[in-house]
Amino acid sequence: MVSFENYKELALSLPESEEYPHFDKISFRVKKKIFATYDATKDLACVKLTALEQSVFAYDEKIIYPIPNAWGKQGWTYIDLKKVRKTVLKDVLKTAYCNVAPKKMLEQLQIKKP
């Protein structure tokens, strides 16, 4: 189980990440691009993955799974914070972050996808 505070701490530990409101959710962004969100009413995290990454991380449809609509087909993926392991969440967040962060910034910081 991962608390929202742990999720937030992991998301904000990534270089230049920031927290902003996004409609009725909380978003985590790098260079103004959203890589993750949090829905407090459902206690669900959501991250931006590629279709391939989504298929790799969605090992258990009760823990990590595509959003069931067109957003899910674009890689947006739900994470049940009550069930996910912190080590898995850390890898998923870093992967989502790398998907939206500018490539040049990642190279300068020597950050690679997990």
42 belongs to a structural domain: yes
Torsion angles phi and psi, residue 93, rounded to 5: -65, -45
Task: Report the alpha-carbon distance of residue 103 to residue 105 in Å, rounded.
Answer: 5
Mean pLDDT over all residues of the chain? 94
Q: How far is CA 40 from the centre of its chain?
A: 15
pLDDT digits (tens, 9 = 90+) for 26-43: 999 999 999 999 999 999
Is pTM beyond 0.75? Reply is: yes
Name residue, tokens 């701490």: 9
CATH code: domain of residue 29: 3.90.1150.30
44 belongs to a structural domain: yes
What is the average per-residue pLDDT within 73-96? 95
Overall number of domains in the chain: 1
98 belongs to a structural domain: yes
114 belongs to a structural domain: no
What pLDDT sits at residue 87? 94
What pLDDT sits at residue 34? 97
Name residue, tokens 């978003």: 27
Domain assignment of residue 13, given as a range: 4-109
